[in-house]
Each structure stands twice: as C-alpha cells, then as structure tokens.
Structure 1
C-alpha cells in the first residue's frame, strides 16, 4: 500500500528520502548542485536546482533514487561566504560555506541529527525515463468528468477513457492505494493507473480513474476518512458508469491496488452492480499482521540487523496496543508520547518532539486506526462475483502470502469463481525487480509489467463474455 506507517525507526529513515535542502554560493548560485547524505541504507543523492529571480535565490530539489522531483525548498540565504537554507516543511536546515566556485561544504540537520553534506555543481539533470506513460493522441475517447457521491455530497473528479465507437462495452473503476493520490496513482514518476487505463481501453474496456478526496478536482479529505468512506466513492463511480450509453451496466467491475484491493471486495458486497473485482496486491488478513510483516521485510531489505528488526516490532506492538485500547485520540496521543519517548518527552528538544508528534499523527489518524484492526476475511467470504487476486512474490508491502488467505476466504463463502496469480519477479507496483525494495521503484523504468496488464485484460474479457 503505497504505503502504511511502519514504525518510528523506519519512519525516521524514510523521512530523509524526501528531506529538503538547498545550496548557495555567494557569487553565483544558479545551476544544479548534487549532494549526498550517508544513511545506514547507503548514500542518498539530492539535487538542488537553483535559480535567481527578483533579486533572490529560489530552489527546487530532486531525489533521483526516490523519484521525487521539484520538491519545494524554503529560503536560501547568503551572508559573506556562508549559506543557510531552511526547509520548514520537514523541519530541517542546511548550513555551510563555499570552498570553491563550484562546491559547498556543510551540514544537513533534521530531527536532532546532523549529517555532513558537500554540494558540487553539476550539469543538466536527466529526466526520469518512464516509457510506458501514455501520450496523446489516443486511439480512444479520453474525457474529464465530475460527479457527486450522494452519500457524502462530495464532488469527485476524474478521467474516463472509452473505446472509439463503443456500444455496451465492459468497464472498470480504478481504486488506488493508501494516502492521498491523484487519478493516475502517480508515484516516483510512474503513473500506473494511466498505463492500466490506456492498455485496457485499447483492448475494448472502458476505465474510470478518479482523484482521491481533496486531491486535484475532488472534494473532501483523505486524512479524515477511512476505507469505508472510500467505498461510497467507488459505488458512486459505478453509478456514474451505469448512465453512460457506451457502457454495459451489467459488465462494470473494479480494479483495486493495495488498499484499493481491500476496498473493492467491500464495494462488491454493497452494490449488486459490481460484476467482478481484481485485487492487485490486496490484503487477505488483518491490518496489524500486514504491518508487522511489511516493516520486517522492508527493514531486512534495507540491511538492518535482526536485533533492530525485533526492536522495531516491539515498538510497533506498543504503539498498536495503545491504539487498540484507547479510543480517545487525545488520551492516546499522550500515551504514545510516553511510549515513544520512553518517558523523556518533556526533556526533549523541539526537533525530537516534532519527530515523535509527526509519527503519532500518522498512527493516531482515523484512517490508520481503521486499517489496523480491519480483517478483510469476513467480507471476502461475502463476495459473490468473480474475483482475481494478483501479487508479486517480491512484494515487501503486501506479502504474497496474502493470496492464499484471499482464496481461502472467498471459497469459504461458497464462491469458487476466484483466481490467483503469483508473479515470481515482481514488487508491490508489479514491476520486474531485483529485491522488491521500495528504493528500486524509481530506478526501474518499467511502470508495470505488460504481462500483468495482459493477465488482467484476458481475465476481464473472459468474465464479461459470459
């Protein structure tokens, strides 16, 4: 799931993947500058793109290894030969001195930690290569649409792609993973849902993909919602498709990725108009168990020793115990502060307090509390429509073991029309990969393996020809 919270230690590490920094040199700061932070998981390059506008310096940051581009940077100040950059969005700052016209020596500070970072002027920044991202002109209709979720009253905005001259064609509603995401499920420069929509529509299947609440043209807020709220958004999408003359209202299905694979079965039990579901790396067991497995797999892939992994799980267990036993979020916040600081919160500096409070804000949210305790098995047992579950064997976020749990749960409800496919060399994004590590996502040019696309298409065509 693009991305469950996985414990304080790991979150602190991940925080640096997107930490902001900029550089300055007294005489000429314009240009691109590269600097590296050394972390336990290896070196992390950050590129700072400096411009000079209206008498002041402005900066954007790229983190190529993580696929992050044009991350906003705060004030860039130069006094004599010294450089100071504040990045309030992640509570970090850089300070240094230029040593030559093309290099700056300094330190990056964040969350009470300090790292030596030397910046070197470089040439042009190579763009990310994403050859599968579809570009117009398209051999199908692509239309920007809006509709209202009658249950919430919120406006939802998205894109519908429909085969040319379509008459009563099958269709799918796409359901994204966790976190606030756009209609393309953009991640690390990849646009998986745009790629899926393009492929399916070229093969006769209409696709509706929609911005999450509070993103793009959609109203509402993801942070104050749960998976159950998103179910009503999905059902509203099905209702919208039923009114399109090009679409067969009896052949509308759902494709959910990660958390979307949790939402799709719920929606299928709420609406009799859902003809089939496809779960891409969807969960088959309770959220708490997935979070333990996810954190351990990611930490192991990052090279952390077994002792650190065990300690991380103990910290997770303490956090989860508080969340499960204390429904009052304000009281839970105080208990979590005590737990995560080992009773030393009051004596910590502001940076350390902010780091702990940021972690608490993630896990104490409405969404996380629901996911932690939600068990998808009873819902899967109620699914009566055909179901397809896919998983990569190298998925570190939703382990492939979930496939067995899914098919067992669906079969327990007397539904035998369920298929599972295990892709031996694939990660959570269904890319061919080496290790499955999240650090690989941005480094892989492939957005999604064409064989995965064909598998989904062939299965949907088979179901909708009946």
Structure 2
C-alpha cells in the first residue's frame, strides 16, 4: 500500500505545536475518541444505576426504589436444631436481591394455615441462626418469622457509602434496605402467611433498618424497634450545612427522617434505662419525634438487645398491630 500511494500527495494537518500529523494518525485518534464516547455512555455510573440498581433520594433525604418484581425464591425444610423442643416448621429460604443471594430462616408455628408474619432483623454482627431464640418465642405467640442475614451481617460503613453516593453509585446500606423490602415480599408470598397481617421487628441496628423499611412498604402494619435509635440529623440546621450532598446522604439513612411517613403504621420502641450501647436518652429522642400511633416501654436490665422482661410488651403490641 505504501508503494502504491507513494506517488500521491499526502494530506497533512498541522498541530498547534507545529508537528505534522498524518491522515492514518488522525483516523486512529478519531476512532479512539469514538470508543471513549461509547464507553462513557455504557459505563456512566448513573446509567449503570438505572440499569441494575435503581434508587432515588429526594431533596428531603427520603430514599425510594421503583416497583419491585414478583419475588423468586427457593425453600427447603430443615431440622430445627435451634429450638428442637418446638413443633414449628423451619425452612431455609434463598432469594435474589441486587445481584446477591440472600439467605433467611422461615419459622412457622405448627398447624398454621394463615399466620400473621414478621420480618425479624438481628442487630449488627448477629446471624439469623443466633436470632432463633426470639423467633421461637414469637412463634409461641402465634407469629411466623422470616429472619435474614443482612449483607455484612448488618454492619455498615457510612464513610465508604458516602463516597459511593457522591460518585453516583449505590451505597451498600441502600442495597441492605432493598434486601429487607424483598424479604417482605418473599414473606407475603408464603402459603402459610396472611399477607394482610405483616409487621417488622428489629434489634439495635436492625431496628434502624426496620423503621426505614416500614416507611417504604405500606403493606407493613407496624414496626417494633428493640434497643435502637436514630442518628440525630433531624437536629441539624440544613441552611448551615456546607456539604449538602453529605447531608442528604446522612438524612437518607437516618430513621428519624422517615418517622413522619410511618403512619398509619404503628411505631413501638422497647428500650432499657441502662442500655450500655444506645443510651436511653437517644431512645427518648427518636420516640419524641415519632408520630401517632406510637408506644414506648422501658425495662431496667443493663444489657443491649432483647431481654425476657420485654416479652409482655412485645406480645401486647403485636396483638394490637396485627389484630
């Protein structure tokens, strides 16, 4: 080709530096620019989010997702080694949520054909298996439970999530909220469950997720938070905030933000005066922000999380919420 073209006048372009650029080089540069443009369109973070992980946060900091598809799950009956004395049916369920398989334990009271259902969220670092003591207690009250392992066992990294948020990517905590929303759909789809009688219970950090999910899923009749609280962003004057995106993100993961949207679902808080992890003052603050209908009960043990003394309050409020 070079010999055939050697007698023709080669077209030249002069760059700003005075260097001559050949036509093949120009074509190559143009081709590379086109590839870069196509790559930018295909892999733009916002496009990726819209395609695989849609979510939105309002100016007020309210997180939302588009309508969810009908849940697809697998179910396998397993031996109940966690409460072997019970006659409950225990199943291991698996369902897909934003590219990950979520595992959950479904506990159904014996001889139940239409049980009220509860999503049960353990505190950070607590597995679905370790929560079966409370699940069995709830079963004795007549309630089926779906207890799931959240991503990272409920642990969160807000600094990393903020980086993702600012980059237009989905924070892990948002996917964790979505996992629980999907779990509520899976619970409602079980043949032994009454889909019109559903509520959610969460301990500690699980309680925070429970409040968000109850606000985002109108089919849930109430939320019971055990040893939990909000983060206090409600007390920040937004007009004095320099980093508005950071403020919007932190608002979106704070249970306080969602309290006004909970009704008519009922908000119930059970807390210890002597909780060593989340102070009783923080519990009082979130309760004061909550709207009616609401109720709060206090115990005295110096522990964090569910205790036997909370049983009568739990039983009383579940009967009211799921009557």
Q: Please indicate, yes or no, whether the TM-score normalized by the shorter chain is above 0.5.
A: yes
Aligned to 2:99: 153
Name the stretch that deviates more: 275-284 or 170-179.
170-179
Aligned to 1:11: none
Give, in angstroms, the shift of residue 162 of structure 1.
0.2
> In structure 1, the residue corresponding to 2:150 is in which secondary structure?
coil
Q: Which runs of 5+ in 1 are unaligned?
A: 1-132, 185-190, 290-323, 329-368, 431-448
> In structure 1, the residue corresponding to 2:178 is in which secondary structure?
helix
Residue among 166, 174, 196 paired with 1:250: 196
Distance 1:456 1:388 in 2: 9
Aligned to 2:120: 174
Distance 2:274 2:252 in 1: 25
**Cα offsets for 1:12-40 (capped at 9, x unmatched):** xxxxxxxxxxxxxxxxxxxxxxxxxxxxx
Give, in angstroms, the shift of residue 135 of structure 1.
3.5
Aligned to 2:262: 383
Is the Cα–Cα contact under 8 Å of residues 274 and 303 in structure 2 kept in the other structure? Answer: yes
Aligned to 1:421: 297
Residue among 124, 136, 146 paired with 1:208: 146
Distance 1:372 1:244 in 2: 34
The 1:226–1:394 alpha-carbon spacing in structure 2 relative to 1, beyond 3 Å, is farther
**Cα offsets for 1:236-280 (capped at 9, x unmatched):** 111001111111111111111111121112111211111110001
Is 1:460 equivalent to 2:306 in the alignment? no
Aligned to 2:282: 402
Aligned to 2:32: none
> In structure 1, the residue corresponding to 2:280 is in which secondary structure?
coil
**Cα offsets for 1:334-358 (capped at 9, x unmatched):** xxxxxxxxxxxxxxxxxxxxxxxxx
Is the Cα–Cα contact under 8 Å of residues 135 and 145 in structure 2 kept in the other structure? Answer: yes
The 1:402–1:246 alpha-carbon spacing in structure 2 relative to 1, beyond 3 Å, is same
Give, in angstroms, the shift of residue 424 of structure 1.
2.0
Aligned to 1:194: 132
> In structure 1, the residue corresponding to 2:298 is in which secondary structure?
strand
> In structure 1, the residue corresponding to 2:304 is in which secondary structure?
coil
**Cα offsets for 1:33-81 (capped at 9, x unmatched):** xxxxxxxxxxxxxxxxxxxxxxxxxxxxxxxxxxxxxxxxxxxxxxxxx
Give, in angstroms, the shift of residue 230 of structure 1.
1.5
Give, in angstroms, the shift of residue 408 of structure 1.
2.1
Distance 2:184 2:255 in 1: 21
Is the Cα–Cα contact under 8 Å of residues 124 and 155 in structure 2 kept in the other structure? Answer: no
Q: Given the two structures, how large is their TM-score scaled by the length of structure 2?
A: 0.61
Distance 1:371 1:261 in 2: 17
Distance 2:302 2:173 in 1: 26
Give, in angstroms, the shift of residue 159 of structure 1.
0.8
Is the Cα–Cα contact under 8 Å of residues 139 and 202 in structure 1 kept in the other structure? Answer: no
> In structure 2, the residue corresponding to 1:408 is in which secondary structure?
helix
- Say how many residue pairs are matched: 223
Aligned to 2:272: 392
The 1:248–1:327 alpha-carbon spacing in structure 2 relative to 1, beyond 3 Å, is closer
Give, in angstroms, the shift of residue 326 of structure 1.
12
**Cα offsets for 1:191-223 (capped at 9, x unmatched):** 3x21110101122100111122266xxxx9966
Distance 1:155 1:425 in 2: 37
Aligned to 1:118: none
Report the RMSD for the aligned CA atoms in angstroms: 3.1
The 1:408–1:208 alpha-carbon spacing in structure 2 relative to 1, beyond 3 Å, is same
Distance 1:198 1:231 in 2: 25
**Cα offsets for 1:60-114 (capped at 9, x unmatched):** xxxxxxxxxxxxxxxxxxxxxxxxxxxxxxxxxxxxxxxxxxxxxxxxxxxxxxx
Write out aligned runs for 1:216-235 (5 A). Answer: 226-235=172-181
The 1:146–1:459 alpha-carbon spacing in structure 2 relative to 1, beyond 3 Å, is same
Is the Cα–Cα contact under 8 Å of residues 286 and 374 in structure 1 kept in the other structure? Answer: no
The 1:390–1:371 alpha-carbon spacing in structure 2 relative to 1, beyond 3 Å, is farther
Distance 1:244 1:327 in 2: 40
Q: Which runs of 5+ in 2 are unaligned?
A: 1-80, 162-170, 236-241
Query: Of the two, which has the highest radius of gyration?
Result: 2
